[in-house]
Chain A
Amino acid sequence: MEYDQIIRQSVKAFKEGRLPEQISARKEAGLKYTPEYFDQLEEDLLGNDTTPEEDTDEADL
């Protein structure tokens, strides 16, 4: 198996919320960059982009 294939598998697993066992064990001890962290980051960054526009539209009306 080539390195690129392993990277693709790793990316796919992380996207689906799966972590390697050793990393999952550390999750309880306080792991920062988890799948949930990036989901929240995405929601904060991309979700906040739409909210002010909606607010301004409502304010204009």
Chain B
Amino acid sequence: MKPTFDGPIPGENYTSDTKNYPWHRPPDITDYDEAVEFVIRELSTPSRISMIYTMLEAGQSISGIVSIVNMLNIGNGKYAVDLSILIAGPVARFIEIAAKENGIEAELGTPEEEIYTLEMFQAMQGVLDNEDEPPAEQPAAPPTEGGLMAMGAETGTPATADPDTQAAMLGLNEEDA
């Protein structure tokens, strides 16, 4: 087998422009209040807030939505990761208040402590037994030997039909015979 050289060659990173992506450049917003105001204004648009309400109704936690919003804005170069952590609280409170105002029950998504149980691990692995479901059928045992023509020999079933059956299959009844 021939070795393949499909990885980057040493120094290849210097051949591309380091300012190709928004997160390679300084962020647009570096102030706490300015960043919170930007996110609140952005989330207040009808399309965004309706999307957030839908996500909340689908069971998404507020913290999860804040993470998504922050990741999008970091990717677009609006603010840096450290500022996104600082503004997570205000953004979450804004979403919480907006949801309450519209009668949507929303979870903040900040459990005290995760308690891992055996059932959780089994559910994660997909091996949790469901007592309501019938047990899966066992696969049929493979034929032992002899192939197709020997089938039935082990079970006692005659390999060939009796003469009467054969005559009936050939369309010969007793009158013809």
- Contact of A8 with B110 in the complex, beta carbons under 8 Å: yes
- Complex Cα spacing A14 to B64, Å: 16
Q: Is the CB of B63 within 8 A of A7?
A: yes
Q: Is the interface of B mostly helix, strand, loop or mixed?
A: helix
Q: Report whether over half of chain A's contact residues are helix, strand or loop; otherwise say mixed.
A: helix
| Size of A's binding interface in residues, CB under 8 A | 25
Number of A-B contacts (CB under 8 A): 75
| B110 & A46 in contact (Cβ 8 Å cutoff) | no
A4 and B63 form a contact (CB under 8 A)? yes
Q: Are A11 and B88 in contact (CB under 8 A)?
A: yes
Of B32, B97, B108, which contacts A38 at CB under 8 A?
B97
Contact present for B32 and A33 (CB under 8 Å) = yes
Q: B93 contacts A15, CB within 8 Å?
A: yes
0/1 interface trace, chain B 74-108, chain A, CB 8 Å (1 if under): 00000001001111111011100100110000001
Measured CB to CB, the nearest residue on chain B to A3 is B67
A11 touches B89 (CB 8 A): yes
Contact B85 A46, beta carbon cutoff 8 Å: no
Residues 9-51 of A at the B interface (beta carbon under 8 Å): 9-15, 20, 23, 26, 31-33, 35, 38, 41-42, 45-46, 49
Query: Is A61 close to B, CB under 8 A?
Result: no
